[in-house]
Amino acid sequence: MMRIVFPNLDYNGSLFIAHIDTLEDRREVLTRRFFKRSVLPESSCLYHLLPERRAPEVISRLCQPNNYEHCDTRTEKFIMR
């Protein structure tokens, strides 16, 4: 799509001029929003699938705090951040 609108620019250049985030960034935002709204609430039917939460004192000692343990996966597309 960006190539049609900006035929003489590469993808990143056209995104910069159009003030648009990359597809990856937009997908990340939507995924985080879905998780916060649909999985984190205790009333959610998906809530029981989450691993146990880490203790607050453990979270405060981590370089990159994360409330949940890391999930092991076998795919390169799924990266827990």
What pLDDT is recorded for position 19?
92
Going by pLDDT thresholds of 50, 70 and 90, the confidence category of residue 25 is: very high
Domain ranges of the chain: 2-61
Q: Report, as an integer, the average pLDDT of 6-35.
A: 90
Rounded CA-CA distance 78/46 in Å is 18
What pLDDT is recorded for position 18?
92
Q: pLDDT tens-digit profile of 31-75? A: 889 888 877 777 887 777 777 765 665 555 555 555 666 666 666
**What is the DSSP secondary structure assignment for residue 48, as one 8-state letter?**
G
What pLDDT is recorded for position 76?
64
* pLDDT exceeds 90 at position 27: yes
| Pair 68, 54: CB distance under 8 Å | yes
What pLDDT is recorded for position 77?
64
Helix (H, G, I), strand (E, B) or coil at 68: strand
- Whole-angstrom CA distances from 20 to 3, 6, 8, 69 are 14, 13, 17, 33
Query: Cα 70–76–81 angle (5° rounding)?
Result: 35
* pLDDT exceeds 70 at position 79: no
Question: Looking at this protein, which amino acid is placed at residue 73?
Answer: T
